[in-house]
Amino acid sequence: MQQVMVDERRREGDHAVTRHGASRRARWAAVVGSALAAAVLGLCFLTTGVQSPFDEMAHFDYVAKLAEGDVPQVGEDLGQESLREFACRSEPTTPLGAACGATSVDPALAPFEGQSYTTEYFPTFYGVTAVVSKALGAVPGVSLLEAARLADLLWLCLGVAAVAALSLRLGARPTGAFAGATLLAAMPLVLLLGTSVTNDSAAIGWAALVLLVWLRLEAAPARRRVLLVGLIGLMGLTVKETTVPGLALAALLELRASMATGATSSPGGHGRPAAGRLRALVRPLALLALPALGYGVLAVLDDGARGVADPANKTYAFLISLATPQGEVLRDAVAAGLTPFAAPDDLPGVAAAVLAVTGVLALAFGVLSAGSAAHVVLRSTLPWRADTLTVVRQGFLVGALVTGPVFLVATRVTAGVAFYNPRYALPLAAVGAAAVFADLSRRWSAAVAGAALVVVGVLALGYLVA
């Protein structure tokens, strides 16, 4: 009976990808095309000279040190490479900007007392980015910072490709998958993160990658699926903890698969239903426990291997700056489902008209993603009785409602200061982008793909002339 279930799921999985009769070439075109669209938008966005407000100097410092073969301690001071680079990119009236051209820059002139606070993250993202940056930096005329930004754009392109591939797996036509992934890449906050040095660029598509791998392994033996998806989820957590929605949604799908297997193996409801329901929880709980335990072990090993620069004070000075008025923090957190699509408050160097257009498009795309999920949830049933697309949309909608409040509680408990930023919900937003056009007709899929191409063209031109 177990083999029958596996064969049935394999047929259903194949059917989900090919039900529209799309050729392999068309599916690859959607994936590669969306990644290329993200690359074009990113390169055009880079010409605006916009400086990211999201700790780019600290992230770059981590990459620069690894690129030179220096493994930084947790919480050590910023290095001279990043201090000199950003001194000449800062306002001349600031203490750091006034040091432009100096051979040695005092770390205390930098924000947050010059602490390289991003070294609290695992070196997963930074090590890969350092290798790519070192290779790109060998090109004449390309600085290490420019190379690191290009490496981050590559991370974004790979994430957008994963979103398109997930959309196809959820049943979207190639045109619909291309549209969802491309419109995600066109969002100004996504572009800002994908063209500046930050681990958010790699986190954006990781939740989609976790779900994609689960769906690809749906017909595989359960133990193998749980192990592989758990390991990929663990890798995502070492990039950034905001990738956890991918694991949560994969666990929800695993629960559905486990319940279906239990129902089939116990026809007529014989035996102990309560015990069967408890057994059905084993696999999804294992999928969550594996990366959680691995994360804890790696955290201990990482601190031991790299050392801590200031063991007596692991709550670094930058946390003081996070004491945002709690009313504003709560407002942003409650709006987590839509705010990832919104434009940052100020993008200097970008024309107001371009920002106005992207702001409207961003809000519309966010409302569409949440609205489509809400529509499905209101007319659907419990997750373990629903189809895959409905389960993903249910998870996206619930995640959009609880991400902010959960983040506030978690940061309050772990850091002592409750803080939240819309970019933390971007991995979840990427899942919404994969699902939003997954059940459109051929005509509507072609229409939204055409609209996405127009958006790319208008925004690319706008960034070039801004």
d(CA 96, CA 405): 36
Q: What is the pLDDT of residue 113?
A: 74
Length, in residues, of the chain: 466
- Torsion angle defined by CA atoms of residues 41, 43, 45 and 48, in that order, rounded to the nearest 10 degrees: -150
Digit-coded pLDDT (tens) for 248-295: 889 888 988 888 776 445 444 444 555 556 777 888 889 988 988 888
Considering its fold, how many domains does the chain have in total?
A: 1
Q: Examine residue 249 and state whether it is found in any structural domain, yes or no.
A: yes
- Return the H-helix or E-strand segment holding 326: helix 326-334
Rounded to a whole number of angstroms, the CA Rg of the chain reads: 23
Residue 111, both tokens = 């924000």
Q: Examine residue 87 and state whether it is found in any structural domain, yes or no.
A: no
Q: What is the pLDDT of residue 115?
A: 78
Q: Examine residue 432 and state whether it is found in any structural domain, yes or no.
A: yes
Q: Are 372 and 194 in contact (CB under 8 A)?
A: no
Q: Examine residue 231 and state whether it is found in any structural domain, yes or no.
A: yes
Q: Examine residue 383 and state whether it is found in any structural domain, yes or no.
A: yes
d(CA 373, CA 170): 14
Q: What is the pLDDT of residue 398?
A: 77
Q: Examine residue 106 and state whether it is found in any structural domain, yes or no.
A: no
Residues of the chain with pLDDT below 70 are 1-21, 262-277, 308-386, 411-418, 466
Q: Are 370 and 337 in contact (CB under 8 A)?
A: yes
C-alpha distances (whole Å) from 369 to each of 101, 126, 145, 337, 430 are: 48, 31, 35, 9, 10
d(CA 459, CA 446): 20
Q: Which residue has the tokens 């070196």?
A: 123
Residue type, 327: G
Q: What is the pLDDT of residue 313?
A: 47
3-state secondary structure of 74: strand
C-alpha distances (whole Å) from 431 to each of 63, 201, 295, 398 are: 28, 15, 23, 12
C-alpha distances (whole Å) from 254 to each of 168, 214, 226, 230, 286 are: 20, 8, 8, 11, 10
Q: What is the pLDDT of residue 88?
A: 79
Q: Are 432 and 400 in contact (CB under 8 A)?
A: yes
Q: Examine residue 416 and state whether it is found in any structural domain, yes or no.
A: yes
Q: Are 294 and 234 in contact (CB under 8 A)?
A: yes
Domain carrying residue 223? 2-76+115-316+324-465
Residue 229, both tokens = 């998806």
Q: Examine residue 178 and state whether it is found in any structural domain, yes or no.
A: yes
- The residues with which 77 forms a beta bridge, in sequence order, are 115
d(CA 353, CA 346): 13
Q: Which of 165, 160, 169, 234 is nearest to 202 (CA)?
A: 160
